[in-house]
Amino acid sequence: MSLTNSDMLDGGNRLPLVEDFYTIQGEGFHAGKPAYFIRLGGCDVGCRWCDAKYTWNPKVFPPVDVDEVVKRAKACAAQAIVITGGEPLLYPLEILTSRLRDMGLEIFLETSGTHPFSGEFDWVCLSPKRQQPPLAEAFGRAHELKVIIQTEDDFLWAEENARRVGRYCRLYLQPEWSVFDEIMPKIVEYAKANPRWSISIQTHKFMRIP
């Protein structure tokens, strides 16, 4: 279900765009890789520590033609696209992803998995949230499970989710930024004791890039 008027989206030919820009992916499996970010507005998950609260209300971001965004992505040197939000799966993504694919670009998705999948992706990063857990289908689609750790209780939540993903899904624990100093030593110890987990850091914050 869309948070914005579905007629305005014309089946996915238009999407509520917050911003699009070329940068370096800071976190998760593709950390360090140059990528063009397409950030869509709208999210109904409501994480307290969300660092993209400005994206939550899609009405603030009038729908933009997908072809315009794809043209901008193609005009730079990017080989990979990160579709993020907000929660991008609120919207039909078939048209966006097929246009990007036609351009020969790799397509990565960042999602909470709380809405049905649409579109085709080369890589899906699933970041589950307790207050609105992912739909069952999201676990089978995930190439990467990235769990945000704010307190030690979140390790249990991480394990619950890890039991549901596929065998080859990469597992990441990522410190919640506002408690980085307190939680980081605990994450280090947890990963050392449970080495199927790796640690993801928001390196873009250290690089001072978006």
Question: Least Å distance between CB 189 and ligand SF4?
Answer: 25
CB closer to ligand SF4, 4 vs 112: 112
For residues 3 and 69, which CB has a smaller minimum distance to ligand SF4 in the complex?
A: 3
User: Least CB distance from residue 87 to ligand SF4, whole Å?
Assistant: 5
Let me know: does 67 contact 12? Beta carbons within 8 Å: no
Minimum distance of ligand SF4 from residue 40's CB (angstroms):
10
112-115 long-range contacts (CB < 8 A, ≥24 apart) are: 112/43, 112/45, 112/87, 113/89, 113/137, 113/138, 113/139, 113/141, 113/142, 114/44, 114/45, 114/87, 114/89, 114/138, 115/1, 115/87, 115/89, 115/90
Helix axes 94-102, 66-75, angle to 10 degrees: 30
Kindly tell me which of 99 and 173 has the beta carbon lying closer to ligand SF4: 173
Return the number of the residue (129 or 170) whose C-beta is nearest ligand SF4: 129
CB of 42 to ligand SF4, least distance (A): 9
Which residue is listed with tokens 């890589």?
Answer: 123
Which residues in this chain contact ligand SF4 in the complex, by CB under 6 A?
A: 43, 45-47, 50, 52, 55, 85-87, 112, 129
